[in-house]
Amino acid sequence: AHLDRIAEVDEQVGAFLATDAEASLAAARGIDARRAAGEQLGELAGVPLAVKDVLVTTDMPSTSGSRILEGYMSPFDATAVARSRAAGLVSIGKTNMDEFAMGSSTENSAYRTTRNPWSLDRIPGGSGGGSAAAVTAFEAPLALGSDTGGSIRQPAAVTGSVGVKPTYGGVSRYGAIALASSLDQIGPCARTVLDTALLHDVIAGHDVHDSTSLDFAWPSMAEAARGGADPASLRGLRVGVVKQLQASGVQAGVRTRFEEALALLSAQGAEIVEIDAPHFEYAVAAYYLILPAEASSNLAKYDSVRFGLRVEPAGGGTVESVMSATRAAGFGPEVKRRIILGTYALSAGYYDAYYGSAQKVRTLIQRDFSSAFERVDVIASPTAPTTAWRLGEHAGDPMQDYLNDATTIPANLAGIPGLSLPIGTAAEDGLPVGLQLMAPAFEDARLYRAGSAIE
């Protein structure tokens, strides 16, 4: 049914970069056969899964939305994908994304435009717009994404779906094409909090292949989501509202829905507490130094020899001219911009002024969160300051995209978990608005419990 749905709508929606109907059907039949033979299979066995193209898989090309990896076939599956397959999930395709996960609209993909299923002239968010659109357009019930600065949560918000960035290290990054390693986190997308939790349980847990993966006995997120289904579970929950996250730039209709959500929470017995986080206003600036610095280092491996594209300049060339011609042709403008920014920020004489200062700001933001969580159980904010903008509306002005990340970036800088769930539509444009909940590191289950109570 999902393959039929993809055939029916994906020409318009543009969520997928690759599908393999035959292989998916064969995998699904394999699950059926095992079930028929009496094997006890997990809750998600046989459920279709869309996979953001940032995760490498053996069944289809893995491009991270870039020409430089066009047609690249990985010899192994990313851990999140391998665990999904082991749980019986059936991969039905790779989803579109901003090139190397740099962006907030999926318009930086080198391959195709993805449209917001709510309104086809609008962006689906980014960088994981393909996964969010696939889920929202009923092309897949579950999807995997990556969140470095909001790429799971912001697409969820603008498409009216649910997305979670787990605690940093909660899900293995092995086989995730790296953007900024100290910020990158793999996580689940779905249409309901419980569905998201079920996928989270499958992919979470320690992995020897990722040295930053946490060796921790995670509680069941699905159990937390089921436990929260009763709104009475909100009684006594202390919900922090960060002054700095309501600052200028929040669209009127987004603000209205957010305030309504707070009023509903307090009507259910939650306590709303105003929180001051004085360093959040520097989060975007710090992030857009740390991310390009790490990205410029991570992307150095695309050298025309080891991976993907190789362009020979006319008349043959030296190692350097082949590398240069390959990168000129293979990287898009946003990727080039960030590599230049990152190498500049890391260069001798500038390192302390830029990268060093940004790292200090990062520590101050972590401290803002720590003192906030002494007073509250969760922090709530609009997931994104605006609803989905029109395709092309931010063209030539990347700063507008960057500023849209102000609400999601703090959680990545601090390594804490964040969940986005839909809370209705904005009056002025009828487009979905997301509520973001954040919790201290390791407390992902708290988000699922509160999220399903609010849902």
Q: What is the DSSP letter of 220?
A: P
41 to 70, contacts with ligand GLN by CB under 6 A?
A: none
Quote the least distance from Cβ 234 to ligand GLN, whole Å: 29
Q: Give the nearer residue to ligand GLN in terms of CB position, either 48 or 130.
A: 130
Closest CA to 96 of 81, 83, 109, 78: 109
User: Does residue 148 interact with ligand GLN by CB under 6 A?
Assistant: yes
- Token digits of residue 128: 């994981």
Scored b (16 or more CB within 10 A) or e, 360-378 reads ebbebbbebbeebbeebbb
- Token digits of residue 109: 């993909």
387 to 406, contacts with ligand GLN by CB under 6 A?
A: 405
User: Does residue 104 interact with ligand GLN by CB under 6 A?
Assistant: yes
Quote the least distance from Cβ 128 to ligand GLN, whole Å: 7
150 to 189, contacts with ligand GLN by CB under 6 A?
A: 150-151, 179
Quote the least distance from Cβ 406 to ligand GLN, whole Å: 10
Q: Alpha-carbon distance 42 to 32, whole Å?
A: 13
Segment near ligand GLN (CB under 6 A); pick from 102-110, 169-177, 208-216, 414-422: 102-110
Quote the least distance from Cβ 101 to ligand GLN, whole Å: 3
Q: Alpha-carbon distance 411 to 440, whole Å?
A: 9
Has 52 been annotated as catalytic? yes
Segment near ligand GLN (CB under 6 A); pick from 23-31, 86-94, 143-151, 259-267: 143-151
- The residue within the footprint of ligand GLN, chosen from 127, 251, 296, 326 (CB under 6 A), is 127
Can you tell me which residue has the tokens 């904010």? 381
Give backbone dihedrals phi and psi of 396, rounded to 5 degrees, phi first. Answer: 75, 5
Quote the least distance from Cβ 44 to ligand GLN, whole Å: 25
265 to 294, contacts with ligand GLN by CB under 6 A?
A: 291
User: Does residue 95 interact with ligand GLN by CB under 6 A?
Assistant: no
Has 151 been annotated as catalytic? yes
DSSP-assigned states of every residue in 136-174? HTTS-SEEEEE-SSSTTHHHHHHHT-EEEEPPTTSB--T
Q: Give the nearer residue to ligand GLN in terms of CB position, either 48 or 292.
A: 292
User: Does residue 103 interact with ligand GLN by CB under 6 A?
Assistant: yes
**Cβ pair 194, 222 in contact under 8 A:** yes
Quote the least distance from Cβ 154 to ligand GLN, whole Å: 7
Q: Give the nearer residue to ligand GLN in terms of CB position, either 74 or 104.
A: 104
DSSP-assigned states of every residue in 415-445? T--EEEEEEEE-TTT--EEEEEEE--TT-HH
Has 347 been annotated as catalytic? no
Closest CA to 79 of 47, 110, 56, 107: 56
Q: How many binding residues for ligand GLN (CB under 6 A)?
A: 14
Give backbone dihedrals phi and psi of 211, rounded to 5 degrees, phi first. Answer: -70, -15
User: Does residue 102 interact with ligand GLN by CB under 6 A?
Assistant: yes
Paired strand residues for 434? 422
x-or-dash string of contact with ligand GLN, 427-446, rule CB under 6 A: --------------------
Report the catalytic residues.
52, 127, 151
Residues in contact with ligand GLN by CB under 6 A are 101-104, 127, 146-151, 179, 291, 405
